[in-house]
Amino acid sequence: MLGVISGTILLQEFAFSGGATEVVRMNQFGRAQLLVNDTMALIPRHGLDRRKQILPHLINHRANLKALQEWGVSEVVGVNSTGSLRQDLPPGIILIPDDFIMLSPYPCVCDRKPLHIVPSLNMTVRKRCLEAASTAAVEAVDGGTYWQTAGPRLETRAEIRMMSQFADLVGMTMASEAIAAQEMGINYASICSVDNYAHGIGQMDLSMEEISLQAQLSGEKINLIISKYKELPPDQ
């Protein structure tokens, strides 16, 4: 059983082509909404109602990861829309990050005892994402650093100038998921779609319409990668 956490990129493909069932789960962290079939459980990160999307800073990452764990998921692929901090990573690129930066508070699952993890992305899941991309004939950049901001606003030019010295991508969700997953003992890695240049990197002004359009185009590639991922033999 593969777990996937995605925004709007995969919802249509998964919900309507695979005969998914909607399930609501409650756990100690709150409510989580899943779409499930025989091989995959998907968390719609921003909810299923596009008119009332859950904004990035309001996502209950702990409830989402716990729901996947209780559903029997042992490895999770996050599908994350990002802005590029580099001119040579244009919109349309797929990147499998190998590290992240998060300097704001994060959703720790430890409320009664300390759990001092060394935050990281799971290398086995990363390798399988890259293998699935290769099998699907989708070019994917191997490695890169993701900088997570709190959202929901986009970043200033000055913030992007600083971030670009240390990271390759900027987004609002992946690091939170990676940390919560690791604290729960769930193997997690991410497939990032580069959907725009960050503020000041490209020549065009940012607009949510352009970002959403590129995310939809990237969704076709990511759907192929996820499909091939599910066909990979289990690790021995």
pTM value is 0.91
- Whether pLDDT at 9 is above 70: no
Angle among Cα 163, 94, 55 to the nearest 5 degrees reads 60
What's the CATH fold of domain 2-231? Rossmann fold (3.40.50)
Task: Give the count of beta carbons closer than 10 Å to the beta carbon of residue 227.
Answer: 17
User: Domain residue spans in the chain?
Assistant: 2-231
pLDDT at res. 49: 78
| pLDDT tens digits along 140-167 | 999 999 999 988 888 999 999 999 999 9
- Whether pLDDT at 180 is above 60: yes
| pLDDT tens digits along 55-103 | 999 999 999 999 999 999 989 999 999 999 999 999 999 999 999 999 9
Is the pLDDT higher at 204 or at 171? Answer: 171
Query: 29-34: which pairs have CB atoms within 8 A and are 24 or more residues apart?
Result: 29/60, 29/62, 29/63, 29/66, 29/109, 30/60, 30/62, 30/63, 31/60, 31/63, 32/60, 32/63, 32/64, 32/66, 32/67, 32/68, 34/67, 34/68, 34/71
